[in-house]
Structure formats: C-alpha cells, structure tokens
Structure 1
Amino acid sequence: MRPPRFWAAGAGHPIARSLAPFGAAYGAITARRMDRPGARAGCPVLCLGNFTLGGAGKTPAAMAVAALLTELGRRPAFLSRGYGGRLSGPVRVDPNVHAAADVGDEPLLLARHAPTVVSRDRPAGAALCRALGADVIVMDDGLQNPTLAKDLAWAVIDGAAGIGNGRPFPAGPLRAPLERQWPHVAGLIVVGDGAPGAWLAEMAEKRGLPVHRAQVAADGPDLAGGRCLAFAGIGRPEKFFATLRGIGAVIAAERLFPDHHPYRPTDLATLAAEAERLGAELVTTEKDAVRLPAAFAARVQVLRVRLVLDHPDALRRQIRQAL
C-alpha cells in the first residue's frame, strides 16, 4: 500500500481523528500480542523491525548486521515471513528456483548474502535455519510477531519520516502505540537525517537505549549525468529518487507504484513507451528488479544500495554482548 498523506499531516488531521477509535483498537490488540512470550530458537535471534508500517530500511540493515556477524566468525541465516509470496514455508530461498511471487522480494535479495528461510511459522523457520548450519538468526521484520523470542531487537527508523502522526493504524502508521513498543527494543538504527528521527533518537537515549545512525549509500551503477525514468514500488520511493539525485542522475520522470507491486504487462509497456518518448533510461530499485520479468529487467538499470553505519564498532559491540 502507499501511505496516505494524512499519516504525515499531524495527529489532529480530521481523517486521523475520525479513524482514531479503530487505531486504538488495532494498536491495543497488537501491543497485547507483542507481550506474549515466544519460543526459544536454540541459538541467538537478532531482529530488525520497525515501529510503523512501510519502508524504513530494514533489509539493508539486516544485511549490515549479517556482515558484522560474519566478521565475528558467526554463521548467520536470515528468517523472513516472505511478505507478498505464496509459499508459507518453511522453505530455503533459492534465487535460481524461486520468484518474488513465491517468496517475496526481500528474501530474494537477502539470499544473495546468506542462507535465507521464508516461513510464516517463525519457530519452524528458525528450526530450518539451524538445520542449514546457522548459529545465529537475523529476522528481517517480525518485531510485532511474538512467536519467536528475540535476544536482541532494533527498531529501524527512517530519519525523515519517523513515526508520522504518531497514531496506530489506520489512523496513522504505527503498528502499536509507541509507549507499548519501547520495551521490546534494545536500540534504534536511524537511517538518514531529519527532525523526526532525531526526536526518536532523543527519546531512546533518555531511556538508556543505544542509537546507531546510518545512511543509505549508492553501490552502483554509475548513473551520474544520465537521463532516467525512475520507477519504484517500495515503502518510501522518495528515498530512491533522492539517492538518484544525490549521485548526479537526471530524473526526467518519476513513476510510483504500491509497495511490493506485482508489475503487469500493461505497466511495463507504459514504462517502456514513456522512457522512449523521453529519451531516458529506465532505472529502478533492487527490490523492484526481482519482481520484473527477466526479459524486461535486462533493459533496466538497477540502483544498488548499502547501509553505511556512522559508527559500526558501536553496533558490533552491542551484537557481541548479546551473543
């Protein structure tokens, strides 16, 4: 889904106020669910989640955590629900066999970095991770899922967006009231700059929680000076467009689709025709690219990104202590 504009317009917006009773009910149910005890996995479980619906940078953060674990001599495996995929699992993701329609788009990206398991039953998925040789599990999302106990959980925050209007869904983007979610995290990873992220970081530090600041950096290809038609179906496409501009790309047009959008032939034909009319190159995100048919994907430039931590040693120390 694409976040409605009133989520960022303040808690006093008329639509937000009218939906507040529904948000209170939804948030209370989610908060009570989060408080339930979970099953132990038999090895440490590190969770990258967020307080809100929508994109915050969890997948790049999960990759960064897995890289630190590997540096520490551990054998990480990713565990994901596989949002948008048809397979309930548990199943090991194989990019040579599975498509985004099978396992979701994020697991296909994660599988390039470490063994990745998709499972709606998180304890069953954790068991498969261990069977594959993992000695630590990295959960991509799952902060609000109580079925698997976490040894360390971070909330990943988009610095520019924060928690929107601060109301629970559908009145706002929060999955549960913020005060009820704080006890379930051991720190924040704030991605990018912005007053909303700074405010949350201050709240975390007052609670004695570490705050790890990071930026998303482009990792190729070189698009500087190139004229492009940029399209994306992710949680916060504006971050993608800003990254393109930051590396010097000239954006002739921006086309937005809902998060996890399954591209149809009509979408692709429209994009191709418009790019030709504009004399521009098609450019998209890695998440979008894995949802494209191979023949069309070959015609598209894919902007790769990675998470760059301001102080990786601080996150490494927290991980080492948890292990």
Structure 2
Amino acid sequence: MNRIGLIFSSFLVLIALASSTLFVVDQRQFGVVLALGKFKDVISEPGLNFKLPPPFQNVIYIDKRLLTLDSSDTEPMLTAEKQRVVIDWYVRWRISEPTEYIRNVGLNEGAGTIQLNRVVRNAFQEEVNKRTVKELLSLKREDLMADVKAEVLAKVRGAKPWGVDIVDVRITRVDYVEAITESVYRRMEAERKRVANELRSTGAAEGEKIRADADRQREVAIANAYRDAQKIKGEGDAEAARIYGEAFGKDPQFAQFYRSLEAYKTSFANKSDVMVLDPSSSEFFKVFRGGVAPAANNKK
C-alpha cells in the first residue's frame, strides 16, 4: 500500500515538474524567459514552449497589441503669448521589438507607459510654446500633433531605442486653466447680456415706432373713410333734393300738401304729444282748414 502511494506521489511530482517546464504563448503576447531573474530570451510566435523549472527559469508576458496612453497630467502649458492652457491628449503605441524594450525600458507595459508619458508631455510643452492659442484651436493643430509625434519617435528611436512604435498622437481638448476659463465665461456672459439688452431696447423702440405708424395709418384711414362717406352722403342728399325738386316742381300744391302731412306725422308721433295753439289762425293747420288742396281736387 505504501509502495502504491509512493508511486502515485512520484507520478504527481513528475507531472508538476513537467508542467513547470511547459508554457503557452498567446498570439496577443510576447513570452519573456528569465533565467535566475535575468533576461534570457523572447518567444514571439504563439504556441507551446519549454523552459527549465523554477527557480532556474521563469516566464513573464508582455502585450503585443496596440496600447493607449491617456494624459493624466493637468499641469498647464504656456503658449507663445504666455497663456496658460490645459491640453488633453492620447497616444496609440505598441511594443515592436521586445528585446530592445526589455533591455532599455522594462519588463512590463507600465514601465513604458511611465517613460512615454514623460516624453510626450515634454514634446507637447515644447511645441505648445511655439504656438498661439488661436493656432492650437485652428487647423494648425494637425501640424502640432505631427510635430509631437516626430519628436517622440526621435526620442524612442535614439541611441538606446525603446523597441516601441508610435502609431498616433491626438489632442482631445485644449482649454484655459480653470481661473482663466471662469474669467472668460464671465466676460462672455456680460457681453451676451449687453447684446441682449441692446436687442431688447432696439426691439422696444421698433415696436413703438410700428405701433405709432399703425395708429397714424388707422387715423388716416378713418379720416379718409369719413371724408369719402360725407362726400357720398352729400352727393346722395343733393341727388335726393334734385329728385324731390323735380317731382314736387311738377305740382307745387301737392308738394306743399305732402310736406304738411309729413310735418303732422312728425309732430304727432307719440299719443302723449300735446300741442296748444289756435287751429283757426295757425299756419300749421292751414291744410286742415282747406287752405291748400291737392292738385287733383283743384282740377275738378
């Protein structure tokens, strides 16, 4: 029984020892073999590989994919006109030569990130010092990013190459520092309020002008309409008088009789009307007394 346990234990030890000598490199990584803590070899091709068991050899992995470095420094930079601005940027980079990277930078991506952040920051500071804020916000921003990329490439490909490739450098934001931004916003707000007040004043003046012109046109229209109405009324009265004149001129006695009847009708319009006069001597009741007879009776 003890022999079986010993065999089984030995088998497990052999499996553990064999597994410690095998490692798999993924297609997204570089396999770095370290011998007693020192760099020995880089495995670039994916697959199963062999090494000595620990502590003689160990394996670490470095990412070979495209990496992104975002700016984390909020320190302002000075432009050509000594304006303090804050720039947000990012860099797309990858490890292209793992052997050079390990020897000159470090054993992981973090070491490259720290050093690359410093280099990119210094390159941006140098290029921003040559340009004005207007140029940073205009189409010349592309020239700035191209110049920064060129400076960073020159640094990482220098006497001690880093073994990295800089794919792209981009600016995501250019802004004044918070104190200046607040001052600019206050000035913009004051200017907008001034423009708004000016527009309101101009609008009120234009409104008064339009209302006054509308009132004037209304008065002119009413006056013209009244004038035309009076003119038409006068012409109508004249035409009516002419017609009456022509009609009554043919028989004056009938005309007088008709007008007297109209006068009586107007005078006695209400039942409560009372007139105190002498019918025998008043000219008003001359028709009743037979002083004026219709033309038809006269002819008879």
Q: TM (normalized to structure 2)?
A: 0.20
Task: Give the number of the structure with larger relative contact order, counting CA–CA contacts within 8 Å between residues 6 or more apart.
Answer: 1
Q: TM (normalized to structure 1)?
A: 0.18
- The structure with more helix, counted as a fraction of residues: 2
**Max radius of gyration: which structure?**
2
